Amino acid sequence: MRVLLVGSGGREHALAWALAKSPLLTKLVCAPGNAGIAQVAECVPIPATDFAALAAFAVENRIDFAVIAADAQLVAGLWDVLEAAGIRSLGPSKAAAVLEGSKGFVKDLCIEAGIPTAAYRRFTAPDAAKAFAETLGYPVVIKADGLAAGKGVIIAADKVEADKAIDFMFEGGFGDSGHEIVVEEFMDGEEASFFALSDGTHVIPLAGAQDHKRVGDGDVGPNTGGMGAYSPAPVLPPSLEQVAMEQFIKPTVAAFAAKGLPYMGVLYLGLMITKAGPKLVEYNARFGDPECQVLMPRLKSDLLAALLAARNGTLDKLNLEWREDVALTVVMASKGYPGSYGKGHVITGLDAAAKLPGVTVFHAGTEKRGNDIVAIGGRVLNVTALGKDVVQAQARAYAAVDLIHWEGAFCRRDIGWRALQR
Ligand code: AMP
Ligand code: GLY
């Protein structure tokens, strides 16, 4: 089977690495990929945003199955473009990607389907939004409705900050994503991510993980795409994973089906574990990054067979096996991230790091230049290790991190701290 993977980050390297092990695979192509993905797939320089070129390439190269990894392409309808060209693909479709594309849609769905989440209202003008924020009390959470590259959420400590955030969004501070906003109650607790796979009718659990969103040790500083993760997450024991499936994932897939919007693809459930139990923070229509980098090393079964079953409506016949081991990944980033950062510095120590026991280094923002691998992104590498517990996985990952260098490299030194504290 000839497979096309669309994307170029650490998540895509982890997916490519897992797909490359499939006995069903004859050829793996990635567009556009990165220097790490190039070790397991053929990379073609087609930007993930050029849907027409991706479809033409897939047809010309007799691609049997395409995997779309990123929210931006799913929400913009790449699945629909590829399927219209006759290329079987893992979605969701543009219509079903509203699961991630509209926070307001998801909040309304929670009410309809009885899914626990924070109290909220949707607004298209500032005055009513400010008045409602006041009734919720502070802190209060203000969100732009559409995709805003993970930056569309402001937690306002008091009325002054809330009013400022509301005006900022309606004045276009987050671009078009702010033409509608959601004002919601602040939930206090520990966050966790849970992943499931749906074929539109059947849905199976994947695994849980915990991300580290803030840039600094101890969870301080600005939000990022994620600075490290581990799986399984002790905050989500098997009993809570069952709650996640029964009270969140299954009612969501059923509500989509009832709307005539079959949801086929990965569901990423962002949960806040509050004193009153788990509540939905958000849904994403894809694997998390860096959560995917800790799910894939734990997956024993064939990823390609699972993704195909999701596309083909046969997930009920699938049984996935997972390793008991803990996987932990440390994101190595370039100085300045999540703001602006330098590019083009040569990375050393990759081969030595990859030889350590249990270690796999997934690439995010890297590029091959001659014989060198250089850093070209904010998040550059995901240094990942399996271990018998968090202590061992963490020690192995940081031993590998310590062998890798480039000018301006940094990482958090405390990935896994919540699990260790328990
Ligand atoms: P989102 O883009 O919806 O994932 O929100 C980004 C981050 O904002 C989440 O990962 C949470 O840390 C935080 N957040 C969002 N909504 C809430 C809420 N209602 N209460 C507390 N924190 C929230
Ligand atoms: N790690 C957070 C995300 O992928 O959205």
103-113 vs 250-258: helix crossing angle, rounded to 10: 100
pTM as predicted? 0.95
Question: For residue 150, what pLDDT is reported?
Answer: 56
Decide whether any atom of ligand 1 lies within 6 Å of the 187 Cβ. yes
Cα 118 from Cα 272, distance rounded (Å) = 10
pLDDT range class, residue 101, cuts 50, 70, 90: confident
pLDDT in tens, 343-372: 999 999 999 999 999 999 999 999 999 999
Q: Which atom of ligand 2 is nearest to the CA of 226?
A: 1
Question: For residue 172, what pLDDT is reported?
Answer: 86
pLDDT range class, residue 385, cuts 50, 70, 90: very high
Helix (H, G, I), strand (E, B) or coil at 294: helix
pLDDT at 190 over 90: yes
Least confident span in 66-80, 96-110, 272-286, 401-415: 96-110
Kindly report the number of other CB atoms within 10 A of residue 6's CB atom.
28
Closest CA to ligand 1's atom 5: 153
Whole-number Å distance, alpha carbon 281 to ligand 1 midpoint, is: 6
- Selected residue with higher pLDDT from 102 and 363: 363
Q: How far is CA 64 from CA 45, 55, 307, 337, in A?
A: 20, 12, 13, 37
pLDDT range class, residue 147, cuts 50, 70, 90: low
Q: Which atom of ligand 1 is nearest to the CA of 186?
A: 20
Cα 140 from Cα 163, distance rounded (Å) = 11
Helix (H) or strand (E) holding 422: none
Cα 34 from Cα 341, distance rounded (Å) = 18
* Ligand lying nearest the CA atom of residue 331: 2
Which residue's entry shows tokens 């400010």?
130
For a mutational test of ligand 2's pocket, the pick from 11, 100, 193, i.e. the residue with the most ligand atoms closer than 8 A to its C-beta, is 193
Decide whether any atom of ligand 2 lies within 6 Å of the 226 Cβ. yes
* Ligand lying nearest the CA atom of residue 152: 1
Phi, psi of 86 (to 5 degrees): 90, 15
pLDDT in tens, 288-307: 999 999 999 999 999 999 99
Cα 394 from Cα 52, distance rounded (Å) = 43
Decide whether any atom of ligand 2 lies within 6 Å of the 210 Cβ. no
126-136 vs 159-170: helix crossing angle, rounded to 10: 150
Q: Which atom of ligand 1 is nearest to the CA of 185?
A: 19
pLDDT at 151 over 80: no
Cα 108 from Cα 122, distance rounded (Å) = 9
Cβ–Cβ < 8 Å for 397, 384: yes
Domains and CATH numbers, the chain: 2-93 (3.40.50.20), 139-185 (3.30.1490.20), 190-317 (3.30.470.20), 326-421 (3.90.600.10)
Q: Which atom of ligand 2 is nearest to the CA of 290?
A: 1
Q: Which atom of ligand 1 is nearest to the CA of 152?
A: 2
Which residues, listed in sequence order, are joined to residue 367 by a DSSP beta bridge?
374
% residues pLDDT > 90 (the chain) = 91
Cα 369 from Cα 385, distance rounded (Å) = 27
Decide whether any atom of ligand 1 lies within 6 Å of the 161 Cβ. no
Residue 220: burial class (beta carbons within 10 Å; 0-12, 13-18, 19+): exposed
pLDDT in tens, 213-253: 999 999 999 889 999 999 999 999 999 999 999 999 999 99
pLDDT at 159 over 80: yes
Beta strands in 87-219 (DSSP E): 89-90, 120-123, 140-144, 153-156, 181-185, 190-199, 203-211, 214-216
Whether the bond into 126 is cis, omega within 30 of 0: no
Rg of the chain over all Cα atoms, to the nearest angstrom: 21
Question: What average pLDDT does the segment 29-42 reach?
Answer: 98
β-strands 2-7, 120-123 pairing:
unpaired
Least confident span in 83-92, 100-109, 113-122, 269-278: 100-109
Question: For residue 149, what pLDDT is reported?
Answer: 56
Closest CA to ligand 2's atom 5: 288
For a mutational test of ligand 2's pocket, the pick from 15, 231, 291, i.e. the residue with the most ligand atoms closer than 8 A to its C-beta, is 291
For a mutational test of ligand 1's pocket, the pick from 75, 141, 212, 284, i.e. the residue with the most ligand atoms closer than 8 A to its C-beta, is 141
